[in-house]
Amino acid sequence: MIIRLFASLLPFLLFSLALADPDDELQKIETALSEFGVVNAPKVPKILVYSKSSGFAHKSIPTGVKALRAMAEKTKAFETEFSSSVEDFTSAKLRKFDGIIFNNTTRVEKAFITNEQRKELLNFIRQGKGFAGFHGASDAGMPKWPEYTKMIGGCFDGHPWNAGGTWPFTVEDPAHPLCQSFSSSTFSFSDEIYQYKGYNRSDLRVLISLDSNRSGIAGKSQTRDYPVSWVKTFGKGRVFYSNFGHNKASWWTPFLLEHFLAGIRWSVGELDGPMESLPLPAQVKTK
């Protein structure tokens, strides 16, 4: 009798539990996106979002998935298909997409193990499609797949600026369409920030950088050049990368989501903006 009574009440108990325990992360993301308008693009690009980690597994990966899905639904700027399989990286399957997003995809050289898989990914971009990478997407490439590092612009070489700290940043290109969400040319924020190997400032346009002088940590760079967000070309394709995204809160911070959205739209050609390299800021070189 007691068992039957419990079974009859179980659906109501589960429903009540769901109401009592809503998705707090999604609520924060939706609140951050509440002021975002609908993008009226003549053609809505289709983007494949790949979120498999093959190295360190960031806890913010599911948060990034929620944010990218919610962003697409709210703004109508792009359509998403989500994947955790390299089997989706074939010419037949990639044909329907305009761009790719790598969401904290550490050590992709361990997932893309065949020359064919690697060629399909890089040729997709090289032939004119878009690529956007977040945080751990640059923890990949060198030394076993240097072509990937060349494509994205740099390879993770440690993070002396840890996730628990609050760090100073410089918006190097405040007039750029991807930097319109930043109200000042300097700001502070808490996230894990990388330094890079295989990085060359002349190969890309730095949009946001970390000010290591004000951070109190020198890092490895002799020039104290620590890019955080950038754009570049790869063949005929466009590449946007941002180091932000280790901390879950980065995915529900409005000015960063706006920056991410602009970067994604830029990668698939919905926004235009300069790609030429900028010189290292004078205040960095003189320290």
Cα separation of 34 and 163, whole Å?
Answer: 26
Range of the structural domain that residue 176 is part of: 24-34+42-285
User: What is the number of alpha carbons within 13 Å of residue 167 lying toward its C-beta?
Assistant: 28
* Structural domains in the chain (count): 1
pLDDT of residue 40: 87
| Contact indicator for 185, 171 with CB cutoff of 8 Å | yes
pLDDT of residue 18: 40
Residue from 191, 211, 162 nearest 253 by CA: 191
pLDDT of residue 269: 96
Helices (H) and strands (E) in the chain, counts: 9, 11
Cα separation of 86 and 105, whole Å?
Answer: 12
pLDDT of residue 286: 45
Is 91 inside any structural domain?
A: yes
Cα–Cα distances (Å) from 221 to 17, 139, 242, in that order, read 51, 17, 19
Write b or e for each residue in 6-16: b if 16 or more Cβ atoms lie within 10 A of its Cβ, otherwise e.
eeeeeeeeeee
Q: Which residues, other chains included, contact 240 with Cβ-Cβ below 8 Å and sequence gap of 6+?
A: 130, 131, 132, 133, 178, 229, 230, 231, 263, 264, 266, 267
Is 1 inside any structural domain?
A: no
Q: Residue 49's beta-bridge partner residues?
A: 82, 101
Is 138 inside any structural domain?
A: yes
pLDDT of residue 15: 38
Q: What CATH number is given to the structural domain containing 214?
A: 3.40.50.880
Segment-wise mean pLDDT, segments of 10 residues, the chain, 287 residues: 44 41 88 96 94 95 98 97 96 96 97 96 98 98 97 97 97 98 97 98 98 93 96 98 98 98 98 95 60
| Contact indicator for 98, 49 with CB cutoff of 8 Å | no
pLDDT of residue 42: 85
pLDDT of residue 11: 44
Is 173 inside any structural domain?
A: yes
Is 124 inside any structural domain?
A: yes
Is 13 inside any structural domain?
A: no
Is 7 inside any structural domain?
A: no
Is 11 inside any structural domain?
A: no
pTM comes to 0.90
pLDDT of residue 133: 98
Residue from 177, 238, 174, 160 nearest 208 by CA: 174
pLDDT of residue 22: 63
